[in-house]
Structure 1
Amino acid sequence: MPTDRSEPILFRLFGAPVSFHWSVLLIVLLALLFSRDPATVMSGIAAYLSLIVAHEAGHAWVARHNRLRVYALRIFPLHGVCNYETARTPGQQIAVAWGGVGAQMLLFALAIALSLLSPHLPEPLRSPLGAVVLVWGPMNLLNAILNLLPIAPLDGRTAWGVLPWLLQRLRRKRADHKRPASSMKPAPSTNASSKNAPSNKATSNSGSNDKVVSLDERRKQR
């Protein structure tokens, strides 16, 4: 899916162009004009835009992992859009929906690591790094919770379909596991008994081999 010409493409992810809406650049310029600490403001804006890019990249990575083509990633001031090939199965669609929040949780873990590193940095770096930790930490977690609300067009509308999907797969596995056991037929008992029991012929043969000795012959032997 081609992107709008008014959206500049800065780089590519998973073979798909990543474009930014013109309003994103406008907000960045306005923030720099009216800010007293450009370094901190730029760090916060960069962290927030990277958060949106990471969310859409998570969708794109899972889509590519499921062999779905990714057409474009579009970044807007408050959200992003990942245009990819229509999922072939419900499981693929659910997995792609969870991919965005999964990528956000990676940034959340990174924010925790940066917060532990911040006290050991020089003073000029603490304020910009604090802005990054704020965006990737609390703001990121709040954004993920809101995004998982089961309301369209949020990802939660599709993501929480994983629960009935898992129940359905579990029922199928149980049904497949029970089906072979019920279809098995017990072996006839006559086969086992005929193998273990001695035959009449063998019994009669063993009886014919015994020598018959008369009473007179036994007396003579004594």
Structure 2
Amino acid sequence: MSRGWWTVGRLRGAPIRLHWSLPLGALLWSGFSFAPAFWGAFTLLILVHELGHALLVLRYGLGLSEIAVHGAGGYCRHERSGSRYEESAVAWGGVLAQLALLVVVQLLALALGPPRNIHASQALHVLTTTNLLLIAINLIPLEPLDGAKAWPLLGMLLSGSRRRTVADELRDLSRVPTQSETPDERTDRLVRELIARTTQSKRP
């Protein structure tokens, strides 16, 4: 484990990392109840979301560098900037992966029937109801949510504007370094906010 991160695997050489705060996020979403199946399904759901981004990063050759999941969500880093079309498509990757998971789970539920124990019921709830809720939240068109970059793709598809434009090139040439957060700094900030929210929720 390094700086609170645990590398659990790799995808095309890029590390897949889990942060120590992940159990806090799962605990918060479960309403502070002892629900191991809920926690496991929640972790799987967030990981599937980030893998959805990663697959489109690989599809467009943007250089996948890291997949990370923490208590307040996760992120997928890539080495190169794509066109507006590519960046927008990558933004859709997470929710599309969630939708694919939802379809698979629903088909399995139809084939196997109602859950036979509390653990199966908890997992089904996360992979369906919680899944849909997170899709809706992620598609809100506000930074840093995926919807901020995802929705412009519809306009580009309707106009047929899929290639890298002159505006994209000028934007990249004029880009200068800024004092923005690094992924680790952003994770630390989100974790602090998560801990504060958890503490407030436990107060009577």
- TM-score, reference length from structure 1: 0.64
TM-superposed deviation, 1:23: 1.6
Q: How many residue pairs end up in the alignment?
A: 160
Partner SS, residue 10 of structure 2: strand
TM-superposed deviation, 1:156: 0.3
- Quote the residue 2:96 is aligned against: 102
Change (3 A) 1:110 1:87: same
Equivalent in 112, 132, 138 of residue 123 of structure 2: 132
Change (3 A) 1:88 1:48: same
Query: Tell me, which stretches of 5 or more residues in structure 2 are unaligned?
Result: 164-204
- Indicate if the aligned counterparts of 1:114 and 1:133 stay in contact, CA closer than 8 A: no
TM-superposed deviation, 1:148: 0.4
1:76 and 2:40 equivalent?
Answer: no
Partner SS, residue 68 of structure 1: coil
- Indicate if the aligned counterparts of 1:14 and 1:61 stay in contact, CA closer than 8 A: no
In the aligned structure 2, how far is the partner of 1:164 from the partner of 1:28? 36
Greater alpha carbon shift after TM alignment, 151-160 vs 88-97: 88-97
In the aligned structure 2, how far is the partner of 1:28 from the partner of 1:143? 13
1:116 and 2:107 equivalent?
Answer: no
- Quote the residue 1:9 is aligned against: 7
- Indicate if the aligned counterparts of 2:57 and 2:90 stay in contact, CA closer than 8 A: yes
TM-superposed deviation, 1:46: 0.8
In the aligned structure 2, how far is the partner of 1:9 from the partner of 1:50? 15
Tell me which amino acid in the other structure corresponds to 1:99: G
- TM-score, reference length from structure 2: 0.69
RMSD over aligned CA atoms reads 2.8
- Quote the residue 2:16 is aligned against: 18
In the aligned structure 2, how far is the partner of 1:119 from the partner of 1:151? 39
- Quote the residue 2:139 is aligned against: 148
Query: Tell me, which stretches of 5 or more residues in structure 1 are unaligned?
Result: 173-222
Partner SS, residue 9 of structure 2: strand
Higher CA-based Rg: 1
1:86 and 2:86 equivalent?
Answer: no
- Quote the residue 1:166 is aligned against: 157
Greater alpha carbon shift after TM alignment, 132-141 vs 106-115: 106-115
Partner SS, residue 8 of structure 1: strand
Partner SS, residue 21 of structure 2: helix
- Quote the residue 1:203 is aligned against: none
Say which structure, 1 or 2, has more relative contact order (CA 8 Å, 6+ apart): 2
- Indicate if the aligned counterparts of 2:25 and 2:72 stay in contact, CA closer than 8 A: no
Identity %: 35
- Quote the residue 2:52 is aligned against: 58
Change (3 A) 1:88 1:43: same
In the aligned structure 2, how far is the partner of 1:128 from the partner of 1:109? 20
- Indicate if the aligned counterparts of 2:6 and 2:17 stay in contact, CA closer than 8 A: yes
TM-superposed deviation, 1:117: 4.2
